[in-house]
Amino acid sequence: MAIKKIGILTSGGDCAGLNAVIRAAAHAAIGRGWDVLGLRNGHLGLLQSPPDVVQLTADAVRGGDLLRAGGTFLGTTNIGDPFAYPGPDGTKTDSSREEIAAMKALGLDALVVIGGDGSMRLFDRLLAPAGIPWVGVPKTIDNDVPGTDFAVGFFSAVEVVSEALDRLSSTAASHRRIMVLEVMGRDSGYIALYGGVAGGADAILMPEFPYDLDDVAAHIKHITHNRPGPVLIVAAEGINRPPDDRRHGSSIGAAIATGLQQRTGFEARCTVLGYTQRGGSPAPFDRLLASSFGVRAVDLLADGANRCLTAWRGGMVTHVPMEGVVTGPRFVSPKDDLVRAARSIGTYVGAIP
């Protein structure tokens, strides 16, 4: 079927680079003579009456403003499941038919969904039965989308972590302290690994590899020759709490700092980066990923593709079938080259199987 009109939406947690994807996909679609609608706030805009959409014109996406603007001007959401949508009284209703009807009423022939693995699962369940062709573009700071080496937003988060470690290194040296930096990543350790190696961390604690705080303390004493000295620790938010941690409710980074101070006798402090990893202007590589993926998504739709994800694999832009993407998040492999590099540089990375 010839495509004449597509929708573009962003879904899930935001990150840097989303606007750059929208810009590239809209440019490519308009260049094919297609009509382009931006759907607001993920799937939520489809539940408004009339649907909350915006016409994406060439002027609206021209120039570099969207390329460098953080966040998503369409809005997004990582709450509310169309198949169990929470009403004001807390009851959950299946609003999926209403959303499909809204897409058809808008005359959408296809969709570009910019999201993480959870959004890919959600839209696959929503669109496949409705027969609406769609292509996914992987985005998340967590970099846990199966099928692609990198997702849009990841390297921007890595840049924030690396810069934070550069800043922490001087205050760690001034006070001869252990500085623990807690980073995001949900249940994966990619941000911790890449940010930690880029920022010269002495230890990187990831959910994928068990750690022992006694071993971390021993590593610290070894590298500081048993004297207080500057030490940088990166702790992913998804790691297990230390077994002897009594301060439930404190951040995992704070628990690690307390545990290391108790074990080494050296002063320790914690910094939680939080949402700074999601904000701000995208790093150059994320702009390149976003521009390539946005164009590739439209090319795939024009070629009649459906239910696939644009991907970066082995340094090339390609695409993979959605079947391998919706299986759930991916995790750092013990065979990851950067895990080996970190260990060879002398960084503690936990117990590698």
Report residue 217 as tokens.
Answer: 């303390």
Report the distance separating Cα 28 and Cα 26, nearest Å: 5
Nearer to ligand F6P, 51 or 146 (CB): 146
Report residue 102 as tokens.
Answer: 């809204």
Query: Which residues are near ligand F6P by CB under 6 A?
Result: 13, 78, 140-142, 184-186, 237, 278
Which of 316, 318, 317, 10 is CA-nearest to residue 139?
Answer: 10
> What is the distance, to the nearest Å, from the Cα of residue 71 to the centroid of all Cα atoms in its chain?
12
Tell me which residue has its CB nearest to ligand F6P.
184
Q: How far is the CB of 13 from ligand F6P (least distance, A)?
A: 4
Residue 115 backbone phi and psi in degrees, to 5: -165, 180
Q: How far is the CB of 12 from ligand F6P (least distance, A)?
A: 7
End-to-end CA distance of the chain: 50
Report the distance separating Cα 115 and Cα 138, nearest Å: 6
Q: Which amino acid is at 279?
A: G
Q: How far is the CB of 69 from ligand F6P (least distance, A)?
A: 19
Report the distance separating Cα 333 and Cα 76, nearest Å: 30
Nearer to ligand F6P, 15 or 165 (CB): 15
Active site residues: 142
Q: How far is the CB of 266 from ligand F6P (least distance, A)?
A: 29
Q: How far is the CB of 234 from ligand F6P (least distance, A)?
A: 14
Could you tell me which residues come within 8 angstroms of residue 254 by beta carbon, excluding any fewer than 6 positions away?
A: 180, 182, 247, 270, 272
Q: How far is the CB of 265 from ligand F6P (least distance, A)?
A: 33
Report the distance separating Cα 140 and Cα 248, nearest Å: 28
| SS3 label, residue 233 | strand
Look at the chain and count its residues. 353
- Alpha-helical regions (H) of 91-177: 96-105, 117-127, 154-175
Report the distance separating Cα 87 and Cα 156, nearest Å: 36
Nearer to ligand F6P, 202 or 237 (CB): 237
